Amino acid sequence: MQPDVKLADPAKRSMLLTALYIAQEQYGYLTKDAIERVAKRLGLPVTDVYSMASFYTLYRTKATGRYVLQVCEGLSCHLVGGADRLVDYLCKKLRIKVGQTTEDGLFTLQTVQCLASCGTSPAMRVNDALYENMTAEKVDELLETLRGYHV
């Protein structure tokens, strides 16, 4: 039987966003199992939880590399020669296309919308960290540092 959402404690459902973050942290991404567990714990239909996971862009429903590189493709990043150039450079350097993961499982490349770093563009995020005023040299340095953790 499906639990009646209307009767559920409203504050309990408010924990859903946080619960999905925790599940994502534990599972690496939101697997079917992770979503079902969150649904069970909060007494919500699985479809409701999945619908949340697919609505918000920070939830991942597919496996990614250890580091998710998110390049901002907003107008302010583009105007200063960011976005395209940065993405092209990363594609060449990592030998992957946008949306793909490197063979060693270290890097996934994505493009994202405005990161609110328009005054310090081009900008990109690596997992939770923000990198601003990016150049090819800085990208090289960054990739080298991250690779260094996994030698």
Nearer to another protein, 73 or 101 (CB): 73
Question: How many Cβ atoms are within 10 Å of 15's Cβ, its own excluded?
Answer: 14
Residue 29 in contact with another protein, rule: CB under 8 A: no
Judged by CB under 8 A, the stretch of 26-34, 85-93, 121-129, 141-149 that binds another protein is 121-129
Give, as ranges, the residues between 55 and 94 that touch another protein (CB under 8 A): 55-59, 73-76, 78-80, 83
From CA 114, how far away is CA 40, in angstroms rounded? 35
- Name which position in 6, 7, 97, 128 contacts another protein (CB under 8 A): 128
- Name which position in 4, 18, 97, 144 contacts another protein (CB under 8 A): 18
From CA 101, how far away is CA 103, in angstroms rounded? 6
Query: Which contiguous run of DSSP H or E holds residue 89?
Result: helix 83-94
Residues recorded for the chain: 151
Beta-bridge partners for 71: 111, 124
From CA 151, how far away is CA 140, in angstroms rounded? 16
* Cβ 95 to another protein shortest distance, Å: 25
Residue 47 in contact with another protein, rule: CB under 8 A: no
Our CA dihedral for 141, 71, 83, 86, rounded to 10 degrees, sits at 30
Q: How many residues bind another protein (CB under 8 A)?
A: 38
Q: Which residue ranges make up the site for another protein (CB under 8 A)?
A: 10-11, 13-18, 20-21, 51-52, 55-59, 73-76, 78-80, 83, 113-121, 125, 128-130
